Amino acid sequence: MDPFIRGLPKAELHLHLEGSLEPELIFAIAQRNGVSLPYASVDALRRAYSFTNLQSFLDIYYAGAGVLLHEQDFYDMTWAYLERAHAQGVRHTEVFFDPQTHTERGVAFEAVLDGIRRALSDARERFGLTSELILCFLRHLSAEAADATLTQALPYKDAFVAVGLDSSEVGHPPSKFQAVFRRALDVGLKTVAHAGEEGPPEYIWEALDLLQVSRIDHGVRCLEDPRLVARLVEEQVPLTVCPLSNVKLKVFERIEDHTLGRMLDAGLRATVNSDDPSYFGGYVAENYEAVAEGLGLSRARLVELARNSFHASFLSPAERERRLAELDAYLAQA
Ligand code: HPA
Ligand code: ZN
């Protein structure tokens, strides 16, 4: 790992906590919870991580998350991610979680939230690593189920900065969730949505116009629509791009085919993130390294990506300036 990339101060803005569960931790939690897994060993589970598309990944991702039952499980998952992030220069992170993946199995919403929040708070104290939490609705479930989840979350609304939208994209357009996103906006939450990962550019338009998102998660398919690119550039809408994820899920055949360089050249505010690092072969620094090598991105480009990550975050202006100053101080001594 290039020490410059590892140490580069950065924000991570597209990270599913459930996708940070390493196979070893899945097995350890399964054992202590008496949950049986359809894999004989850690290695057998890891060998199953060969995906053909988003759905083939999601099937295994939900199976892995099925071991999580207690507050401590959610703490351990979140803490393991935060330690890795801290070791890779992440100064601020805005993480997704999927409450429905757990409440559907009978786990209390509070157990999920409390475990995650306790770990985020410990990382703030121990590492100075700041964070925000984004509650994602599962788009393969109904709009009514999303609405019920928001109702369940509202007593804790100060714990979240935004709501988001993830899971199976094609066939579940943003328009399906317009009403629940309206409710979230009305109580002061920000909104983000996965769009244009496997789904068409129209889904990005819908996320902007119907869900009023502050950022697009993935968004790589925007390049198919020049009018959309013009708008995203004009409004400087951040895109949380996840290069290793895109290759693992066959959005691009090889890292060399990834369009991140073209996106930056077009003036889009792209950022680099890890998505589901345990499943896609790397945390955020490995993603920076993959595009540095695979696309031949210069050091200046990598710095631009790190700068974009703070600009695209939900940090207050004062906190953003503080983080950008840390980045400048790092560059001055690098
Ligand atoms: N896309 C959609 N849903 C997801 C993802 C993703 O990359 N990761 C976890 N849920
Ligand atoms: Zn994602």
**Ligand 1 atom 2: residue of nearest CA:** 167
The best mutation among 12, 14, 15, 16 to test binding of ligand 1, ranked by most ligand atoms within 8 Å of the C-beta, falls on 16
The token pair that represents 299 in the structure block: 């050091």
Q: Is 186 exposed, middle or buried (0-12, 13-18, 19+ CB in 10 A)?
A: exposed
In this prediction, residues 64-89 reach a mean pLDDT of 98
C-alpha 334 – ligand 1 centre gap (Å) = 35
- The pLDDT, as a whole number, for residue 331 is 98
| Span 192-219, pLDDT tens digits | 999 999 999 999 999 999 999 999 999 9
Q: Is residue 164 lining ligand 1, measured as CB closer than 6 Å?
A: no
Annotated catalytic residue: which of 18, 169, 197, 198?
A: 197
Q: How many CB atoms lie within 10 A of CB 218?
A: 27
Ligand 1 atom nearest 18 alpha carbon = 9
Q: What percent of the chain has pLDDT over 90?
A: 99
Q: Ligand 1: which residue has its CA nearest to atom 3?
A: 167
Residue 109 CA to ligand 2 centre (angstroms):
21
The answer to whether 240 touches 218, Cβ cutoff 8 Å, is: yes
Q: Rounded distance, CA 226 to CA 209, Å?
A: 17
**What is the reported pTM?**
0.98
22 lines ligand 1 (CB under 6 A): no
Atom of ligand 1 minimally distant from the CA of 245: 7
Mean of pLDDT values over 82-101 = 98
Which pLDDT band holds residue 159 (cuts at 50, 70, 90)?
very high
| Structural domains in the chain (count) | 1
- Verify whether residue 197 is a known catalytic residue: yes
232 Cα to the center of ligand 2, angstroms: 19
Ligand 1 centroid, distance to 28 Cα (angstroms): 24
d(CA 177, CA 110): 24
Instruction: Give, for ligand 1, the residue of 58, 95, 220, 247 to mutate: max count of ligand atoms closer than 8 Å to Cβ.
Output: 58
Helix axes 23-33, 71-87, angle to 10 degrees: 160
Span 94-114, pLDDT tens digits = 999 999 999 999 999 999 999
Give every CB contact of residue 322 below 8 A, 6+ residues apart in sequence. none
State the distance from the centre of ligand 1 to the C-alpha of 205, rounded, in angstroms.
19
- Largest Cα span, the chain: 53
Per-residue confidence (pLDDT) for residue 31, from 0 to 100: 97
Q: Which ligand is nearest to the CA of 196?
A: 1
Q: Which residues contact 219 (CB under 8 A, 6 or more apart)?
A: 195, 196, 197, 204, 232, 239, 240, 241
Q: Name residues whose C-beta falls within 8 Å of residue 281's C-beta, 6 or more positions apart in sequence.
A: 244, 248
CATH code: domain of residue 270: 3.20.20.140
At residue 146, φ and ψ (nearest 5 deg) are: -65, -40
Q: Check residue 198 and give its pLDDT.
A: 97
* pLDDT attached to residue 45: 94
Residue 197 CB–ligand 1 contact under 6 Å: yes
Residue 19, ligand 1, Cβ within 6 A: yes
| pLDDT tens for each residue of 225-250 | 999 999 999 999 999 999 999 999 99
Q: Are 333 and 15 in contact (CB under 8 A)?
A: no
Minimum-distance ligand 1 atom for the alpha carbon of 98: 10
Residue 293: predicted pLDDT: 98
Mean pLDDT score across all residues of the chain: 98
Range of the domain at 224: 3-333
Residue that has been written with the tokens 């998660």 in this structure: 217
Residue 34 has a pLDDT of: 97
- The pLDDT score that the predictor gives to residue 67 is 98
Q: Residue 100: CB within 6 Å of ligand 1?
A: no
Give the ligand at the shortest distance from the Cα of 14: 2
Handedness of CA 311, 305, 192, 259 (dihedral sign): positive
**What string of DSSP letters covers 210-236?**
TS--SEEEE-GGGGG-HHHHHHHHHTT
pLDDT digits (tens, 9 = 90+) for 260-293: 999 999 999 999 999 999 999 999 999 999 999 9
Question: Which tens digit of pLDDT belongs to each residue from 110-156?
Answer: 999 999 999 999 999 999 999 999 999 999 999 999 999 999 999 99
CA 17 to ligand 2 centroid distance, Å: 10
| Rounded mean pLDDT, 294-317 | 98
Query: How would residue 26 be classed by pLDDT, with cut points 50, 70 and 90?
Result: very high
Strand residues in 103-243 grouped as ranges (E): 130-138, 162-166, 190-195, 215-218, 238-241
> Which residues are CB-contacts of 13 (< 8 A; sequence separation ≥ 6)?
93, 94, 215, 238, 240, 271, 273, 309, 312, 313
